[in-house]
Each structure stands twice: as structure tokens, then as C-alpha cells.
Amino acid sequence: MAIISEVEEETSSSQPGTFDSSNPLGFLEKVFDFLAQQSDFLNKPSAEAEIAAAVRAAKEKSTKAEKKSVEKKPVEKESVSASSSEPMEVEEQKKQGAAPIAPNKGNGYDLENYSWVQTLQEVTVNVPVPSGTKARSVVCEIKKNRLKLGLKGQDPIIDCLYRSVKPDDCYWNIEDQKMISILLTKQDQMEWWKCCVKGEPEIDTQKVEPENSKLADLDPETRSTVEKMMFDQRQKQMGLPTSDELQKQDILKKFMSQHPEMDFSNAKIN
């Protein structure tokens, strides 16, 4: 409360009132500015994850309060609220500019209707369906820039893709008549996907952790590139120079040692 009071004092000096409901992000920016001035919280590697967790907790609390309110309203309004909860959650994340979320153990994310995992080369999507579902009841269309998946006579569960895939190298099957599994081969096999479907919550790709066994399966050139990417991500998280920046520093140091007569006191590496 003390932080909010001080932020309110700062905002009230520039405009009337203490909180502009039409510009909540402006208020949040003041809060983050205050945190940056009064503590080193934002410098912590886990700051974004903790802020995202706080946002999710606040949203869950708000959702529970809304559900209690809806229970007092007619039943037809309750059904509309339930069906629109997930789109509202995604839209709310966009409005608040929430930090990317931590990936699951498979470097993907678990959503209400499906989950997905990935390697650099492939994305696997798992969609639970009613027990006893037959393959003939499944609608699955895989195109370069689109995945349409659902059950006949129902709205699609998935109807979009984050990035392009190779349709000829993509497959799907139904496991135990209760889970649809889709294997998507990425068009760009040097990129980690932030999400499987455009508009869904995005993961923090800097927290992706490839399995060592998978790295060993790569050819030497690709493995070297992946290891470089992982090293650079760790360096950025710690505020340290990347491999390219280290290489430039080494070149400059070597040149300086070869030309001691020159003054490098004002030299900078771009």
C-alpha cells in the first residue's frame, strides 16, 4: 500500500485524480519506475516470472469474484461468461503486456484445450478428446501456415499456426481413442516457437532447455549453432557480453597489444 500511495502522489502531481481507469498501463509503468528507483527487484533474473505469476494470481482472484457474481445472475448469462473466459484471458494478457511465461518441461505450454512441446526441428501437439473417439470423427488439415483440428460437427479446437511447417513431413494419429497427437515439422528448424497458435500466451524462449541427448543427435554445424544460441541466452540473462561481443573484445585486445604506441583509452566496441 505504501508503494501505491507514493505512486499515486507522483501521478497526481501531473494530472487530476489518483488513478486513470482508461490508462491502467500508465499506472503500472509508474509502479515499475518506483520499484527500479527503490530496489533492485527488476534486476533479478526471476523478476519477469514473478511479475507474471503475480498477474496470474490477480486474474484468478478476479475470475473467482466474477464467478460468484455470475452465480447470482440468470443461468443463460452464466453460460455466456463460461464460454468466453479463455478468449478474455488471452486478450487481457495482451492488454496488460504481461511478460512471457515459463515453458513446460517439453519447452512448450499447457493450455485448457491442448498442450504442446517442441524441439528445434519439431512441434508435438496433444489434444484430449472424449473417450471412444474414432479417427473418422476427427477433422485434421495440415497446411504450410495453418493447422485446422477438431471433431466433425463442432467448432475447430485449433485453426491457426504460429510459424510455417512442412506439410509433407507432418502426421497425426489418435492414441487410445482419447488423445489426438500431431507431429509438425518446422519450416525453420533453427527457431524456438513462442506459441503454437497465434494469439495464445507466449513462452519465454530464453528459458527453453534442450535435452543434451537431442543435441548429440544434431550434425556438428547445427549443434555448434544451438550451443552458441544457448550460451548467448545465458549471457544476456546475466547481463554479460554475448559470444560475438566477446570475439570483438578479443580482436580489439589483440590489436592493442600489437600497437602499444596507439591510444585506445576512448575505444568503444559497438
* pLDDT tens profile 17-57: 466 666 677 777 777 777 778 877 777 777 777 777 777 77
Cβ–Cβ < 8 Å for 233, 131: no
Is the whole-model pTM more than 0.75? no
Q: Is the model's pLDDT at 13 over the cut of 70?
A: no
Residue of 177, 105, 183 lying closest to 142 (CA atoms) = 183
Alpha-carbon span 83 to 46, nearest angstrom? 33
Query: What's the pLDDT score for residue 61?
Result: 79
Measure Cα distances from 71 to 59, 63, 88, 116, 146 in Å: 18, 12, 19, 33, 38
Distance from chain centroid for Cα 114 = 16
Going along the chain from its start, the domains and CATH numbers come out as 109-185 (2.60.40.790), 220-256 (no CATH)
Share of the chain above pLDDT 70, in %: 75
Residue that wins the pLDDT comparison between 127 and 50: 127
pLDDT band, very low/low/confident/very high, at 74 (cuts 50, 70, 90): low
Q: Is the model's pLDDT at 243 over the cut of 90?
A: no
Alpha-carbon span 24 to 128, nearest angstrom? 37
Alpha-carbon span 31 to 173, nearest angstrom? 49
Alpha-carbon span 9 to 28, nearest angstrom? 14
Share of the chain above pLDDT 90, in %: 36
Residue of 50, 8, 1 lying closest to 28 (CA atoms) = 8
Query: What's the pLDDT score for residue 83?
Result: 40
Average pLDDT over every residue of 133-147 = 94
Alpha-carbon span 82 to 139, nearest angstrom? 25
From 69-83, 115-129, 163-177, 181-195, the region with the lowest mean pLDDT: 69-83
